[in-house]
Amino acid sequence: MLPLKPRPRTIVYIDGFNLYYGAVKGTPWKWLDLAALFSQIRPADDIQSIKYFTAMVSGPTKPNQETYLKALATTPLVETILGNFKKKRVECRVSQCTYTGKKFFDTQEEKRTDVNIAVYMLDDAYQDLCDNFVVVSGDSDLVPAIRMIRYRFPAKQLIVYVPAQHPTRSHAVELRASAQVNRNLPLNLLKPCQFRNPLPDGSGGTLVKPATW
């Protein structure tokens, strides 16, 4: 009898804001259990870790995000890696705007997420921590990292899942072309892959899904 072929070691890299805006915004499925989701998406894989990349928001939605990150922390497979937001002054270029004063306003720009994903992927490749790299994003800024891993480690598999509710967001042509395999994130799995509510926090307390979710 032939020995069973070992399951491929897999690490999942998730662009948190890309996942949010692409797949769960406007849905009741924000209380998403990432470990449950990817055990469904990649049942034949040996998932080593799920790395969730995000940045802390400010304002009224901050408590919701903090609660969700605490929920993710109850799952041993999931590691959260934080970037940050940087203030940025931009000019309004809406041609229909009739305001005659200075058209500048302050906004925030997410920083480091793409760089963090790229660095972690390359580091994991050089340490030989996985056979499969599963990238959840639609951002073409990740293309150079994916191409470099394919060039340096041709035996490794790069798989992209694009989170998208709408067809225009699902194109991600350059990112899809950079990987050996590309798929749309299966949105039908979001509903069955929700955390319990309330959720034990691991230290005797509970976490409750935000009321607005």
User: Is a pLDDT exceeding 90 seen at residue 95?
Assistant: no
Opening angle at CA 18, ends 14 and 21, nearest 5: 135
Asked if the structure places residue 213 within a domain, the reply is no
Which of 166, 117, 104 has the alpha carbon at shortest distance from 16?
A: 117
Q: What is the DSSP letter of 95?
A: T
Asked if the structure places residue 64 within a domain, the reply is yes
* Mean model confidence pLDDT for the chain: 91
Asked if the structure places residue 132 within a domain, the reply is yes
169 pLDDT band, cuts 50/70/90, is confident
Strands 78-82 and 181-184: unpaired
User: Is a pLDDT exceeding 90 seen at residue 36?
Assistant: yes
User: Is a pLDDT exceeding 60 seen at residue 107?
Assistant: no
Q: What is the pLDDT of residues 183-195, one digit of tens each?
A: 999 999 999 999 9
5 pLDDT band, cuts 50/70/90, is confident
Rounded Cα gap, residues 73 and 46, in angstroms: 20
Asked if the structure places residue 179 within a domain, the reply is yes
Asked if the structure places residue 104 within a domain, the reply is no
Please state the domain count of the chain: 1
Q: In the prediction, which pLDDT does 92 show?
A: 56
Q: What is the pLDDT of residues 56-89, one digit of tens each?
A: 999 999 999 999 999 999 999 999 999 954 444 4
Given the structure tokens 């802390």, which residue do they identify? 56
Alpha helices in 77-157 (DSSP H): 113-126, 143-152
Q: For the domain that residue 169 is a member of, what is the CATH number?
A: 3.40.50.1010
User: Is a pLDDT exceeding 50 seen at residue 106?
Assistant: no
Contacts of 209 (CB under 8 A, 6+ apart): 31, 67, 195, 197, 198, 199
Q: Give residue 138's domain range.
A: 9-84+112-207
Asked if the structure places residue 93 within a domain, the reply is no
